A and B are shown apart, each in its own frame.
Chain A
């Protein structure tokens, strides 16, 4: 079965589809476990990941992609996270591994190596752990207490920490091997800011590199006060710096970027938030010269650009327009035009020649360096990249090191190939019911700037569930068993999206990418030739039996089929269990999946009554398909009555605005079961 686009787009192949489905099913602890098994820093990623999964998400072709990062945060922030316990192997391997750097690459490597049974020591140059997560990303995007908790969970696996140690300075790589470490992972990140290269850069007080600025801010230090600041650059670091400056009381903050908005490398969301908070962005503007007075920065002379021919990066290169010079009054200039790794301390030992910036690895997928036993990954190798790419490097390094320690050859773990984005047919898009993406909940701009409070809040259970239900379940859809298929064309006729097509000879094709796993064809097929991976019919039958096996005889046993698209939360389920322990819920992705034989099966297994609960129509992605349930229910009722039972034992109702089912309805059904022959409510 093909991987869904969200998984393929993720550098660590996160099982996005799986945890989103679990959230939709209100199985939040399992959703978290799914995430956490693959990712040791889910609360970080849920906040600051660039979410390539969202860019690839098929829902984006309908209206907007699923808010996957927000869902990850919801699943990872919840109280159930504490139930997750990673399992360490019984016997340690006996090998020691040194991890240099405690950023995301180092932390991920350490985590995975520990789970593989190796003893890990992290060497961190700074007095605090986290790398750029701690000293780069501001508090209002990633609160330090969250980071602390995530790191602690990793450290609790038995990882040794040595802060304030700069490898290459006090201790060389070779020293580590002498100390008994069998392998080393160099994950020192990219913390060296590029210089602006303009006059006045080194002359005046108030010209700061973004890295050192952010490091100071993130460590609670107050750099020089500023009223008017300019930030030069267009990446996330520039945006982070600008937004921090506002919170530190700057009256005006200008970002000076040499190209236009379309070329800005910063994440769109970040740019939008910065503008929302009041950062002014001067596009197509390059700095010429820093001016000063009394040894302090007083102004920044700039020039406007126009875009010319594309350069090596493929972006159109900025060309200054003569005569457009102007001056910005500023008392601080922050240089945020890009970072580079600083490998000077280990360059000799690793045989690095040119430039002493990026560390060269031989196999890009094995992460081996020229020196045996030494591996490298993350920003230190690629230059500044994203958190999840760093985590991916850490995880790959752990696997490579594990093979190495076992004396095995190191397989190249090739990343998934860039898959061409498949477009949905226009007719499918048109026929898909639109549900807007749940908006993120952010602090209003004025409240934000009074401090460094976290700007975004986590989804509530209701919103998270609603958002997760927008998922289109890529590749979990219908599959036809060609041997059973009799080409009756029913699936072609009943599909709400018009997806199955027939050849002249009756060979039916269902596009697995387009199918949204609604379940209608699998139900309507008269020869049961269609299987579906989401809520398979066999599973529904098993769920009925399972539910019946838990029945206690405290009242008439009622099997209730509830639509997961209803507006209910886990407390509603709990309340139902408590108030009506003899009402056994079977949850389905859509009441449209329930066939006459499912209703009969419930009775056959001993149920005294059956309740079918439809979700509110405004939440139903396939309302017409759901409507047909009435007819199947009428047929079931006719059979039930032909069997001599009262038809009132079978009820279809609408789920309330909030909750699973109205008390009166259940009470009415129970009453009718006890005293048959009464008038039904429908």
Chain B
């Protein structure tokens, strides 16, 4: 899933000042699962914004809604009518959702209520960690299912570096050295010799360094 964090309220309050009719729009997939922007957070945030408006003597209305995903035009279009009277939307979706809203409603001000963080897994309720960098060329078969692009601080393909100590990355004791994990797991699978070979340099273009990415499936598009 994509993980998100809701922006600090001070930042949101500043961003949403001055709009007479604001829609707080939640996203019920990744954002809800991150407890950043589901219906539950929409309620809370809208309430707080209303109180902030009242305190600052601002006249205004704050509406609430949520859709399944803000990254799909069909869902986004379903709130067209609700948006009609609004001058701004505080979107609690990831950056993709915020931008699709902007595209579909170019005359409205679309504001991001969350910071999109990473592609990751849930370790337990309330704890998520990064797993995938979206590099477009998966090598997890060669690294025992552990990704050095997403999880090595230096994205080494021939790691570890000299800073790996006690299985932790040099940047923090809380970060595992993924190369230690890769070595351990390959050893466990009796495949450690795979690392004798030098991993060639990476082509970073599918990872976004070749420019903004787009994927087209000729077999699917109309």
- Chain A contacts to B: CB under 8 angstroms: 484, 486, 488-490, 493-494, 525-528, 595-597, 600-601, 603-604, 638-639, 642-645
Contacts and interface: CB of A to CB of B under 8 A. Distances in A.
B10 interface: yes
Contacts of A638: 9
22 contacts: A490-B33, A493-B124, A493-B125, A526-B32, A526-B39, A527-B39, A527-B66, A596-B44, A597-B40, A597-B43, A603-B51, A638-B9, A639-B44, A639-B48, A642-B8, A642-B9, A642-B13, A642-B52, A643-B9, A643-B52, A643-B55, A644-B55
Interface of B: 8-10, 13, 28-29, 32-33, 35, 38-41, 43-44, 47-48, 50-52, 55, 66, 68, 122, 124-125
A469 B10 CA distance: 43
Given A486-B32, A486-B68, A526-B32, A643 B44 contact: no
A182 to B, nearest CB: 61
Contacts of B124: 493
B29 A639 contact: no
A349 B29 CA distance: 76
Contacts of B41: 526
B109 to A, nearest CB: 22
Contacts of B47: 597, 600-601, 604
Nearest to B11: A642
Nearest to B37: A526
Nearest to B43: A597
B122 to A, nearest CB: 8
Most buried by A among B48, B55, B68: B48
Contacts of B35: 526
Given A486-B28, A486-B68, A528 B40 contact: yes
Contacts of A525: 40
A526 B38 contact: yes
B48 A642 contact: yes
Nearest to A541: B43
A490 B125 contact: yes
A653 to B, nearest CB: 23
A526 to B, nearest CB: 3
- 7 tightest A-B contacts by CB? A526-B38, A526-B32, A600-B47, A642-B9, A528-B39, A597-B44, A488-B33
A237 B28 CA distance: 65
Given A484-B28, A643-B48, 10 more contacts: A526-B32, A528-B43, A597-B43, A597-B47, A600-B48, A604-B51, A642-B9, A642-B48, A643-B51, A645-B55
A645 B39 CA distance: 25
A527 B9 contact: no
Contacts of A526: 28, 32-33, 35, 38-41
B28 A600 contact: no
Contacts of B8: 642
A489 B52 CA distance: 33
Contacts of A596: 44
Nearest to A488: B33
B40 A486 contact: no
Contacts of B29: 486
A43 to B, nearest CB: 47
A603 B54 CA distance: 11
Contacts of A493: 124-125
Nearest to A636: B44
Contact of B40 (A494, A527, A642): A527
A42 to B, nearest CB: 43
Contacts of A489: 122
Most buried by B among A528, A604, A644: A528
A493 B41 CA distance: 19
B123 to A, nearest CB: 12
Nearest to B44: A597
Nearest to B9: A642
A595 B124 CA distance: 21
Contacts of B44: 595-597, 600, 639
B33 A486 contact: yes
Contacts of A494: 125
A592 to B, nearest CB: 15
Contacts of A601: 47
Contacts of A486: 28-29, 32-33, 68
B9 A488 contact: no
A566 B9 CA distance: 35
Contacts of A645: 55
Contacts of B40: 525-528, 595, 597
A638 B43 CA distance: 16
B4 to A, nearest CB: 12
Nearest to B53: A643
